[in-house]
């Protein structure tokens, strides 16, 4: 080849053409903008244009400059005209038809590049799982680019009737967070199930029942009394309680039924996958989205997180002996917690042995014991029972026969709120499911 400037020119030319063809193929239709091409290449637009005006665009597509509304190659124009059935062979002819060509291209792109429809819905949720989506930061732009969000009550104004109008299976995937507590939530998740190819239980509440599921230790009446009459901040002199039907100015208003029992999502509809965590961390969310978009999904029913216990990935695992004897449990505020040592060794409750890994050991790194929000590993039927039996085996009861009943009780009592501790996230899916209260079904 000739001198260096010529070689540089040839290399640059090849780079531009290759990138153009790559983008045309990737975009699914025969047009890309100069601006975008220049940005992708890290070159200035003038250079890119200079090269394109002499480029021979092959059958991969045509080139169009959105800014100047000009077509840059004759060959490309003829190809485009042919594709669109437009009688035009010169740039001037094509520019006259610009609006139509733009529209045709957009339609073509919509057909070729139909994005998968995604719904995001919340049931009995604290809103943290919605925050988790926003916590994707700039990755959320990739998601928005790749999918078409058709329902997201916290952020977008789509209505139930919009979903009802869709064909069954039209939605590629519905991400549903929160547990099911209200009749309206039950109706919505059934509707989303009908319209969706895949349903993902997003977060601990949808996966296991979660924190709202702790209400299963009480009845609806107790919950209402506490919330509307008894809390220290409640001012309700008329003792007004929520009613399913109420007449205001001659109009009957309806509120959804409030169930006695909180349910996890799979106790209401079939669920395809589970994204664990309170709330699920951004990397797991992105992994799940990528797996769905690329079709690289595990078997139906899988929890989309590693199937190993948190202790196996915990940075403190080396300080945890094989056999532990806990003499008493302490609350974190009662001692100065060693930031390197296993919590259990320090007498602080940690759910790590009975919890699935994948959160990045978030709480541990913040010097807090795990609370079990990722749920159990595969095969464990009841996370709370598993943790209970594990703790019982670690409690220093080897001298049990020498201990009085009172001493044994005192030792056990050092673990405050055992039911709430062991079933913090999983009461609705446990074998117990809820506290037995006369007149209240499961
Ligand atoms: S899983 Fe946690 S963050 Fe998500 S809705 Fe339930 S309580 Fe909130
Ligand atoms: S019990 Fe908790 S602190 Fe100890 S190794 Fe397991 S996860 Fe880590
Ligand atoms: S450490 Fe435990 S409670 Fe904390 S985020 Fe991880 S799994 Fe959830």
- Band (84; pLDDT cuts 50, 70, 90): low
**Mean pLDDT across the stretch 189-202?**
97
Instruction: Indicate the range of 153-157, 198-202, 349-353 predicted with least confidence.
Output: 153-157
162 has a pLDDT exceeding 70: yes
pLDDT in tens, 237-272: 999 999 999 998 999 999 999 999 999 999 999 999
Between these two residues, 6 and 267, which has the higher pLDDT value?
A: 267
With 0-12 CB in 10 A as exposed, 13-18 as middle and 19+ as buried, what is 373?
buried
Domain boundaries, the chain: 4-112, 117-227+255-294, 310-429
- Of residues 325 and 420, more confidence is placed in 420
- Ligand 1 pocket test, pick from 129, 202, 263 with the greatest ligand atom count within 8 Å of Cβ, gives 129
pLDDT at 409: 80
In the reported structure, the alpha carbon of residue 371 is separated from the centroid of ligand 3 by a whole-number distance in angstroms of 6
Count of Cβ atoms closer than 10 Å to residue 49 Cβ: 19
Asked if pLDDT for residue 109 goes beyond 60, the answer is no
Q: What pLDDT score was predicted for residue 391?
A: 86
Closest ligand 1 atom number to CA of residue 132: 3
Whether 77 has a pLDDT exceeding 80, the answer reads: no
Contact 310/361 with Cβ under 8 angstroms? yes
Say what the pLDDT of residue 29 is: 45
> Quick check: 319 pLDDT over 50?
yes
Instruction: Look at residue 106 in the predicted model and tell me its pLDDT.
Output: 58
Other C-beta atoms closer than 10 Å to the C-beta of 278 total 24
Give the sign of the dihedral formed by CA 176, CA 177, CA 183, CA 186: positive
Give the residue with greater pLDDT, 157 vs 425: 425
Report which ligand 1 atom has the smallest distance to the Cα of 204. Answer: 1
Ligand 3 geometric centre to CA of 349 (Å):
13
Q: How confident is the model at residue 413 (pLDDT cuts 50, 70, 90)?
A: confident
The bridge status of strand 70-71 relative to strand 64-65 is antiparallel
Which has the higher per-residue pLDDT, 211 or 42?
Answer: 211
Q: Which has the higher per-residue pLDDT, 91 or 369?
A: 369
Cα–Cα distance measured from residue 17 to residue 354, given in angstroms and rounded to the nearest whole number: 56
pLDDT of 56 > 50? The answer is: no
C-alpha span between 223 and 6 (Å, rounded): 80
Using the atom order of ligand 1, give the atom closest to the CA of residue 207.
1
C-alpha 51/C-alpha 14 separation (Å) is 9
pLDDT digits (tens, 9 = 90+) for 22-54: 776 665 444 566 677 788 888 887 787 777 655
Query: Residue 279, preceding bond cis, omega within 30 degrees?
Result: yes
Say if residue 20's pLDDT is above 50: yes
Q: Whose CA is nearest to atom 5 of ligand 2?
A: 317
| 117-227+255-294 maps to CATH 3.40.50.700 | yes
Q: CA end-to-end span of the chain, whole Å?
A: 82
Backbone dihedral region for residue 303 (phi beyond 0: left; psi -120 to 50: alpha; all else: beta): beta
Instruction: Classify 411 in phi/psi space as left (phi over 0), alpha (psi -120 to 50) or beta.
Output: alpha
Is 286 or 92 the better-scoring residue by pLDDT? 286
**Is 387's C-beta closer than 6 angstroms to any atom of ligand 2?**
no
The predicted-structure confidence for 59-76, as pLDDT tens digits, reads as follows: 434 555 545 544 555 555
Residues 104, 109, 114, 120, Cα dihedral to 10° = -100
pLDDT winner (highest mean) among 43-47, 106-110, 186-190, 328-332: 186-190
Mean pLDDT of the chain: 85
pLDDT of residue 60: 39
Cα–Cα distance for residue pair 297/355, rounded to 1 Å: 23
pLDDT tier, 370 (very low <50, low <70, confident <90, very high otherwise): very high
The number of the ligand 2 atom at minimal distance from the alpha carbon of 361 is: 7
**Does 77 sit in the ligand 2 pocket, CB within 6 Å?**
no
* The pLDDT value given to residue 325: 84
User: Which are the contacts of 191, defined by CB distance < 8 A and separation ≥ 6?
Assistant: 160, 163, 164
Residues 6+ apart with CB under 8 A from 350: 342, 343, 344, 364, 369, 370
409 SS3 class: helix
Please give the DSSP secondary-structure letter assigned to residue 167.
P
């Amino acid at each position: 080849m000739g001198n260096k400037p010529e070689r540089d020119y040839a290399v640059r030319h090849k780079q531009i053409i290759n990138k153009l063809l790559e983008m045309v193929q990737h975009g699914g239709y025969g047009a890309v903008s100069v601006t975008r091409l220049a940005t992708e290449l890290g070159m200035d637009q003038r250079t890119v244009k200079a090269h394109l005006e002499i480029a021979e665009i092959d059958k991969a597509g045509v080139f169009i400059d959105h800014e100047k509304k000009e077509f840059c190659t004759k060959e490309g124009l003829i190809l485009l005209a042919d594709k669109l059935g437009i009688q035009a062979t010169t740039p001037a002819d094509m520019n006259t038809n610009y609006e139509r060509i733009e529209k045709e291209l957009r339609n073509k792109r919509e057909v070729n590049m139909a994005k998968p429809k995604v719904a995001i819905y919340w049931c009995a949720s604290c809103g943290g799982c919605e925050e988790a989506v926003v916590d994707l930061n700039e990755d959320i732009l990739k998601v928005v680019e790749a999918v078409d969000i058709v329902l997201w009550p916290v952020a977008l104004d789509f209505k139930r009737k919009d979903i009802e109008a869709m064909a069954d299976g039209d939605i590629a995937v519905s991400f549903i967070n929160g547990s099911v507590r209200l009749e309206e939530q039950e109706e919505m998740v059934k509707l989303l199930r009908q319209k969706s190819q895949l349903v993902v239980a997003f977060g601990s509440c949808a996966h296991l029942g979660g924190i709202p599921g702790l209400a299963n230790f009480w009845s609806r009446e107790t919950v209402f009394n506490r919330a509307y009459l008894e809390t220290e901040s409640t001012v309700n002199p008329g003792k007004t309680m929520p009613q399913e039907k109420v007449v205001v100015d001659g109009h009957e208003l309806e509120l959804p039924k409030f169930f006695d029992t909180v349910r996890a999502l799979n106790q209401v509809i079939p669920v395809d996958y589970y994204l664990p965590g309170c709330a699920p961390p951004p990397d797991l969310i992105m992994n799940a989205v990528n797996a769905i978009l690329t079709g690289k999904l595990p078997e139906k029913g899988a929890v989309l997180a590693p199937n190993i216990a948190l202790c196996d990935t915990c940075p403190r695992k080396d300080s945890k002996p094989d056999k532990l004897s806990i003499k008493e449990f302490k609350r974190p505020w009662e001692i100065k917690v060693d930031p390197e040592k296993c919590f259990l060794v320090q007498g602080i409750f940690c759910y790590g042995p009975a919890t699935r890994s994948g959160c990045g050991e978030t709480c541990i790194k913040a010097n807090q014991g795990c609370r079990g929000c990722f749920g159990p590993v595969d095969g464990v039927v009841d996370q709370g029972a598993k943790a209970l039996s594990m703790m019982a085996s670690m409690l220093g009861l080897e001298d049990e026969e020498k201990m009085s009943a009172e001493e044994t009780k005192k030792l056990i009592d050092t673990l405050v709120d055992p039911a709430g501790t062991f079933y913090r996230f999983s009461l609705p899916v446990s074998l117990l499911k809820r506290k037995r209260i006369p007149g209240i079904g499961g």
